[in-house]
Chains A and B, each alone.
Chain A
Amino acid sequence: MAAGTAIQVQGVSKRYRLGQGPYLTLRESLSRLVHKGSVSKEEVWALRDLSFDVDEGEVLGVIGLNGAGKSTLLKILSRITEPTAGRSRTRGRVGALLEVGTGFHPELTGRENIFLNGVILGLRRSEVTRRLDEIVAFAGVEQFLDTPIKRYSSGMYLRLAFAVAAHVDPDIVIVDEVLAVGDVQFRQRCLGRMSEFAREGRTVVLVSHDLGSINQICERALWLEGGRLRLDGPSAAVVDAYVRDAVPRGAVSTFDPEPNKPIQLLSAAVSAADSDANDVLRRDRPFAVELRFVVRERIPGLSVAFILETSQGVRVLDEDWGPDMGGELLPAALPQAYSARLVVPPVLAPGDYVLVGWVGTQAGAIVQREVLAFSLLPGPVDTSEAVQRNRVVQPGVRWEVEEIEALDVTEPAADSHA
């Protein structure tokens, strides 16, 4: 069938009321009936006059900051909630995956949960029966099929939940941040299935904070901002514009005062180290980490260090202000505030990092804690495939590949047969 339209969103707005709990007590409701004047509550427009079409077989990514209306949009597309104004239309069977394992019950066995979840996701029981072996094999839980899933490890649970979701048969697949759970392998598997859905000609709408995935899977992306459509176009262009504009630049965290401690952290910050840029943390530019703290006691041999880890916990830097650098804090007066700053050259791969601050002596740490999390964004030349590779450093290696004279390869081969 030629590509018709699968989804039409026409001037959709959605209003939520704030300033009240998620639900009212009867008393509040009665008093609102009596005092008609005082009903005006704070309102939030999660979506504002949103319009777009999605063709059959198109793979659409939706990006935006938290609170931009992404999840609300998916809820309206999947008819979980209705718009306050406008209309959303879908054609074909809609499979919405807003959460992995919706409706799973811990007391039920794997098999029972497969049926429960399958039917919830829109399969018929006969269809689940037909696909049961496939689902079980996909999840790799053959031996535990009749065990209550409360005894499953969290990995098994996720695999089973995703296995069911991967075997539904919708025309329109709607996915929210499912890729954000589980380990790297699991995420890759989810991603793979999404691409497969797309290759099978299904319409896919995918919300993710993982811009690399959006780039990789989607040909088109929507950028939502404050409930409105900011940009609609090829995903590479939209993601690029979004990264330049919307991702927070650098990061700062501050700490609560602890007046009784000998050492107290004040703040930690990360920022682009070169001055020309607009403060975006990018893998191809140096960045600086800074820790501010107060020393309240004279402690011999007091020094400071930074540890940098990937979000998967791989330690990539462990740098102390060592004795060879004259590294001892000798406060002139007490208490004394310090700023320790370290510039990291552009060697790390794009990704999420965690900064650990350390203040202590040879005898050990006096303060050691995660002080900051931040992301290094891809450089301008990085392809989405390059971003997806599982690596920690990307120091900009130099390749030297050239043609050299042909060697006589027949001789050693003949040798080996002798």
Chain B
Amino acid sequence: MQPAASEDAAEARRWVDNEPSGKWFPGIPVAELWAERELALILALKDLKLRYKQTFFGVAWVLLQPLVAVLIFSLVFGRAAGLPTDGIPYPVFAYTGLALWFYFTAAVSSAAQCLLDNKELVAKVYFPRLLAPIASMLPGLVDLAVSLPVIAVFLAIWTVAPGLALLTLPLWVLATVVTALGAGLLLAGLNVRYRDVRFVLGFLIQAWLFATPVVYSISLIKGSWRYLYALNPMASIVAGFRWSIAGGPPPGLEVLVSGGVVVVLLAVGFLYFTHVERSFADVI
């Protein structure tokens, strides 16, 4: 009799090899990732639990952060700069952009740090390393979910009624997750080797914000410039997310450019991460 006679004992009894992989791209261990999914969940849960421990406002920060930002942006850009918002009241306009943007930056920066934050784990425990950046995508989704009812309240206050476009909302969220994962994988892999990433990350996110229609409208970019602009996938995604909730001009063909970039980014992220992950335990 075998001691570990669980239902998947037969599964666990296969030979597992550890040898130098000669291939440049060793592949994505989908089955293993699925088998270890609980680890991703519990790492995400740990993140959530830790985030607001010993803070005065606690979970209220989930709402306070974007609300304060909305207030500031409304005053600066809505009043002072008088930016066009495609007829959407500025607070609604800003909040729809910011909610998604906050998720994106949180997911990217936590993915970039995920291996260093779990240094001990990487050096002392085997797990499919891809789980760490994937787990980093999850906690922010809770914040995003919490902000949706607040968006609904905003819509009620400024009497904006969403249309059928609302049905596309999950699509934009999914696209954000995929983009964040692509960028996060790349940064996480780089960060183990080059701690420069920590310093670059701040600038990167700032620059990325300016290149994304969060505080301003995508209609500021005219004509075929739009296609160049859409090389930043978050441009189309934020605009699309806002359109699905608050209306305005529907997305155009530039979405295809962004979609292509997302696919390439994700592929490059996976490629780079799986290429360097073998040496993580040695260099971290």
Q: Does chain B have a CB within 8 A of A208? A: no
CA distance A200 to B12 in the complex (A): 18
**Chain B at the A interface: SS class:** mixed
Question: B residues 1-25 with Cβ under 8 Å of A?
Answer: 1-4, 6, 12-21
Beta-carbon contact of A82 and B20 below 8 Å: yes
Residues in B neighbouring A84, C-beta threshold 8 A? 20
- Of the listed stretches B157-165, B172-180, B188-196, B201-209, chain A binds B188-196
Please judge, given known A-B contacts A96-B126, A116-B46, whether A88 and B17 are in contact too, CB under 8 Å: yes
**Residue interface bits A373-387, CB-to-B below 8 A is 1, else 0:** 000000000000000
Q: Does chain B have a CB within 8 A of A108? A: yes
Beta-carbon contact of A25 and B12 below 8 Å: no
Q: Closest residue of chain B to A200, judged by CB?
A: B3
Beta-carbon contact of B18 and A89 below 8 Å: yes
Q: Closest residue of chain B to A201, judged by CB?
A: B3
Size band of the A side of the interface?
A: 35 or more
Please judge, given known A-B contacts A76-B18, A105-B46, whether A124 and B4 are in contact too, CB under 8 Å: no
CA distance A301 to B20 in the complex (A): 69
What is the minimal beta-carbon distance from B261 to any residue of chain A, in angstroms? Answer: 24
What is the minimal beta-carbon distance from B181 to any residue of chain A, in angstroms? Answer: 22
Residues in B neighbouring A367, C-beta threshold 8 A? none
Beta-carbon contact of A116 and B18 below 8 Å: no
- Of the listed stretches A16-24, A213-221, A321-329, A353-361, chain B binds A16-24
Task: Pick the residue among A79, A93, A200, A202 that contacts B18 (CB under 8 A).
Answer: A79
Beta-carbon contact of B16 and A96 below 8 Å: no
Please judge, given known A-B contacts A89-B15, A119-B39, whether A16 and B282 are in contact too, CB under 8 Å: yes
Q: Closest residue of chain B to A9, judged by CB?
A: B18
What is the minimal beta-carbon distance from B65 to any residue of chain A, in angstroms? Answer: 21
Residues in B neighbouring A16, C-beta threshold 8 A? 282
Q: Does chain B have a CB within 8 A of A55? A: no
Beta-carbon contact of A87 and B17 below 8 Å: yes
What is the minimal beta-carbon distance from A166 to any residue of chain B, in angstroms? Answer: 14
Beta-carbon contact of B50 and A102 below 8 Å: no
What is the minimal beta-carbon distance from B41 to any residue of chain A, in angstroms? Answer: 8
Question: A residues 1-49 with Cβ under 8 Å of B?
Answer: 1, 16, 22-26, 29
Q: Does chain B have a CB within 8 A of A418? A: no
Beta-carbon contact of B53 and A107 below 8 Å: yes
Beta-carbon contact of A90 and B126 below 8 Å: no
Beta-carbon contact of A92 and B12 below 8 Å: yes
**How many A-B residue pairs lie within 8 Å, measured between CB atoms?**
127
Beta-carbon contact of A25 and B196 below 8 Å: yes
Beta-carbon contact of B1 and A94 below 8 Å: no
Residues in A neighbouring B38, C-beta threshold 8 A? 119, 124-125
Q: Does chain B have a CB within 8 A of A393? A: no
CA distance A171 to B8 in the complex (A): 13
Beta-carbon contact of A116 and B42 below 8 Å: yes
Beta-carbon contact of A90 and B3 below 8 Å: no
Beta-carbon contact of A24 and B20 below 8 Å: no
Q: Closest residue of chain A to B2, judged by CB?
A: A1
CA distance A115 to B46 in the complex (A): 10
Q: Does chain A have a CB within 8 A of B283? A: yes
Q: Does chain B have a CB within 8 A of A227? A: no
Q: Does chain B have a CB within 8 A of A298? A: no
Task: Pick the residue among B12, B195, B279 that contacts A93 (CB under 8 A).
Answer: B12
- Of the listed stretches B75-83, B117-125, B246-254, chain A binds B117-125
Q: Does chain B have a CB within 8 A of A99? A: yes
Q: Does chain B have a CB within 8 A of A180? A: no
**Residue interface bits B16-45, CB-to-A below 8 A is 1, else 0:** 111111000000000000000011001000
Question: A residues 202-218 with Cβ under 8 Å of B?
Answer: 202
Q: Does chain B have a CB within 8 A of A75? A: yes
Question: A residues 65-90 with Cβ under 8 Å of B?
Answer: 75-90
CA distance A93 to B7 in the complex (A): 13
Beta-carbon contact of B19 and A90 below 8 Å: no
Q: Closest residue of chain B to A78, judged by CB?
A: B126
Residues in A neighbouring B14, C-beta threshold 8 A? 91
Q: Does chain B have a CB within 8 A of A279? A: no
CA distance A170 to B6 in the complex (A): 11
Residues in A neighbouring B2, C-beta threshold 8 A? 1, 92, 171, 201
Q: Closest residue of chain A to B278, judged by CB?
A: A82
**Residue interface bits A330-368, CB-to-B below 8 A is 1, else 0:** 000000000000000000000000000000000000000
Beta-carbon contact of A24 and B193 below 8 Å: yes
Beta-carbon contact of A99 and B12 below 8 Å: no
Q: Does chain B have a CB within 8 A of A294? A: no
Residues in B neighbouring A137, C-beta threshold 8 A? none
Beta-carbon contact of A93 and B124 below 8 Å: no
Residues in A neighbouring B283, C-beta threshold 8 A? 22-23
Beta-carbon contact of B20 and A105 below 8 Å: no
CA distance A107 to B53 in the complex (A): 8
Beta-carbon contact of B50 and A91 below 8 Å: no
Beta-carbon contact of A81 and B120 below 8 Å: no
Q: Does chain B have a CB within 8 A of A320? A: no
Beta-carbon contact of A23 and B39 below 8 Å: no
Task: Pick the residue among A1, A25, A121 that contacts B195 (CB under 8 A).
Answer: A25
What is the minimal beta-carbon distance from B280 to any residue of chain A, in angstroms? Answer: 8
Q: Can you report 16 residue pairs joining A to B where beta carbons are below 8 Å apart?
A: A23-B192, A79-B126, A81-B281, A82-B278, A85-B20, A87-B17, A87-B18, A88-B19, A89-B16, A89-B17, A90-B16, A103-B118, A120-B42, A121-B125, A169-B3, A201-B1
3 interchain residue pairs of minimum CB distance:
A87-B19, A79-B126, A81-B281
Residues of B within 8 A of A (CB): 1-4, 6, 12-21, 38-39, 42, 46, 49-50, 53-54, 118, 120-121, 123-127, 192-196, 278-279, 281-284
Residues of A within 8 A of B (CB): 1, 16, 22-26, 29, 75-94, 96, 98-99, 102-103, 105, 107-108, 112, 115-116, 119-121, 124-125, 169-171, 200-202
